[in-house]
Amino acid sequence: MIKKWFKSGDPWIWLNAAAVSASLIIVLGLLALIAVKGLSHFWPKSVMQAQYVQATATNSNPESLRIIGEVHNQEEVTLEALHGMGVHLELDALTATRILLKTGNRDISGADFKWMLQPYLKDEQYPENIVVLERREWGNFYGFLKSVKSDNKTVASEDTAWQELETQLERAELIYKQIREIEKDDIGSINYGMEQIRLGKRRLELEKEDTPERIQKLDLERKQLEKEYAVLEQDLKKLYKKFNRDSIIAETMSGQQIEIPLSKIVRAYRPNSLNIFQKIILYFEKLWEFVADEPREANTEGGIFPAIFGTVMMVLLMSVLVTPFGVIAAVYLREYAKQGAFTRTIRIAVNNLAGVPSIVYGVFGLGFFVYFLGGNLDQLFYPEALPSPTFGTPGILWSSLTLAILTVPVVIVATEEGLSRIPRSIREGSLALGATKAETLWRTILPMATPSMMTGMILAIARAAGEVAPLMLVGVVKLAPSLPLDTNAPFFHLERKFMHLGFHIYDVGFQSPNVEAARPLVYATALLLIAVIVLLNLSAIYIRNRLREQYRSLES
């Protein structure tokens, strides 16, 4: 009976179904883990205040320390393990609960996180007047707001300080946006223009065309830019004076009172006094900041918009570059090349290229694209900038070309499969009606093969978007000073370095000096990278399905 059942093939169907189900459960479980670990980071947690009293056999009257912080993690540890770490406890139980508290105030205590033993935490409370300050430097501050100052004069005492702080923070945020707009956009454009004038003069000198008229024209442009810069500099001085006007006096958990300028504060809130709806609003504000803002604090705070922009831009540029190469190679192999040993050898080589480690492509891109091709381009077209390289240095163009070569075997194989499925009768019918082979290929064969081309591009996007190793050699950086796309002509700067979500995960997870603060951002960035890849793939799938429906009648 069992032998007959095996011969029927049903066990193998059930085995395949079980394998697919297990794979789906593993993938969905992994995504759920990443989502929970990453998205929960932005939820405004309640802040605890407690007295930390550690009693020992040698000290019956220990000192009580006030502790303020967010509970981030807890674990059970044995007393033997604690003794091994140099911590000797006088407890009746064999294990103790250890709590990881985010106490912030790194500029004062030197660390954001502290491990505390649960048995020694007494009188736990959640006072509504505890304030959390998200700062541009030194991470979060936890404490109590005492007063608000303006021009070194106290304008609000402890009772009215919170309302005054909210008002002054709104004002400071508006001024900060104006400063950023002037510094990054207006002054950035002027600096770019000044550099172009300098390079223009140098080019005229090299070409022996530095006539007085041309030099005078460039000097007039430079003077005009200097006048605009002087005006912006005066505006900046006024804005900075307003920006640095206000400050607050806050009390730490040790009772120390410090002055914090409002210019250093990004956001202030009292989590213990927020209701559920206010927490939801704050949660989405922080989530939007993560997606749309620039990073700060060595990438452990702020947003990751430059990394999102760089990843999407590189993938789109790679897709534009890889598709022509892959399609042309596939068309030659399928439609023009004589089928024989040589063609089979080429196909084997193409398949083997798909298995080459990605770091090898990175070394090739660095040696050929950056040093050889980019260096020669600098000699031919940008001699005025030398010895500073223009294209002879890693950038987004070379990164896209490197990944295009890495993924071109996928596009070749997919396109060739699509070409092989087109019926021979369609080719013969087109030729019988008087069309040339080129016309048949361009007007009939390639349009029908576009769904397969899109399939190859989808596979290429899926692999290229997650690659990190080759990009570390040919263009990606920890912090990019500017985006590859801006308002300065020629607007699209292919020579610039860029940020990438995959490298951002590596940098935050393994190179950050503040591991505990960076860990949730690793999960959040990984989830966002998956979302970007899925969105790019869904867009390509949508286009492929539209094309497939369009040419389905021809195939039938």
Q: Domain spans of the chain?
A: 48-126, 143-275, 308-407+467-555
Distance CA 387, CA 389 (A): 6
Distance CA 340, CA 383 (A): 48
- DSSP 8-class letter at 373: I
With tokens 């395949």, the residue in question is 16
339 strand-pairing partners: none
Q: pLDDT at position 373, please?
A: 93
Q: pLDDT at position 456, please?
A: 85
- DSSP 8-class letter at 241: H
Burial class (CB in 10 A: 0-12, 13-18, 19+), 285: middle
Q: pLDDT at position 270, please?
A: 93
Interval 209-257: pLDDT, tens:
888 888 889 899 999 999 999 999 999 999 999 999 999 999 998 888 9
Distance CA 399, CA 386 (A): 22
Q: pLDDT at position 377, please?
A: 92
Q: Which amino acid, 65?
A: L
Query: Cα 178 to chain center, whole Å?
Result: 25
Length of the chain: 556
Contact 449, 440 (CB under 8 A): no
Q: pLDDT at position 57, please?
A: 47
Strand 140-150 to 153-156 pairing: antiparallel
Contact 300, 512 (CB under 8 A): yes
Give residue 394's region: left, alpha or beta (phi > 0; psi -120 to 50).
Answer: beta
With tokens 């033997």, the residue in question is 80
Distance CA 475, CA 495 (A): 9
Of 440, 141, 135, 369, nearest to 267 by C-alpha is 135
Q: Which amino acid, 256?
A: Q
Distance spanning both ends of the chain, measured CA to CA: 45
In three-state form (DSSP H/G/I as H, E/B as E, the rest C), the secondary structure along 180-244 is HHHHHHHHHHHHHHHHHHHHHHHHHHHCCCCCHHHHHHHHHHHHHHHHHHHHHHHHHHHHHHHHC
Distance CA 391, CA 405 (A): 19
With tokens 């990881």, the residue in question is 100
Pick out the chain residues at pLDDT < 50.
Answer: 57
CB within 8 Å of 307: residues ≥ 6 apart: 295, 499, 500, 501, 503, 504, 525
Contact 411, 449 (CB under 8 A): no
- DSSP 8-class letter at 92: S
- 476 in helix, strand or coil? strand
Of 124, 115, 60, nearest to 90 by C-alpha is 60
Distance CA 156, CA 149 (A): 7
Q: Which amino acid, 534?
A: V
Q: pLDDT at position 91, please?
A: 56
How many angstroms separate the most distant Cα atoms in the chain? 104
**Is the previous residue joined to 387 through a cis bond, with omega within 30 degrees of 0?**
yes
Contact 361, 398 (CB under 8 A): no
Of 511, 517, 509, 508, nearest to 103 by C-alpha is 517
Q: Whole-prediction pTM value?
A: 0.87
Q: pLDDT at position 53, please?
A: 80
**Is the previous residue joined to 490 through a cis bond, with omega within 30 degrees of 0?**
yes
Q: Which two tokens stand for residue 237?
A: 């001085």
Task: Return the ∠ at Cα 381 (arms to 378 and 383), rounded to 5°.
Answer: 60
Distance CA 333, CA 340 (A): 11
Q: pLDDT at position 459, please?
A: 84
Q: Which two tokens stand for residue 40?
A: 């929960």
Q: pLDDT at position 56, please?
A: 53
Backbone angles phi, psi at 68, to 5 degrees: -130, 130
- DSSP 8-class letter at 498: B
Q: pLDDT at position 554, please?
A: 54
CA distances from 517 to 40, 140, 301, 333 (A): 13, 10, 8, 53
Distance CA 322, CA 111 (A): 47
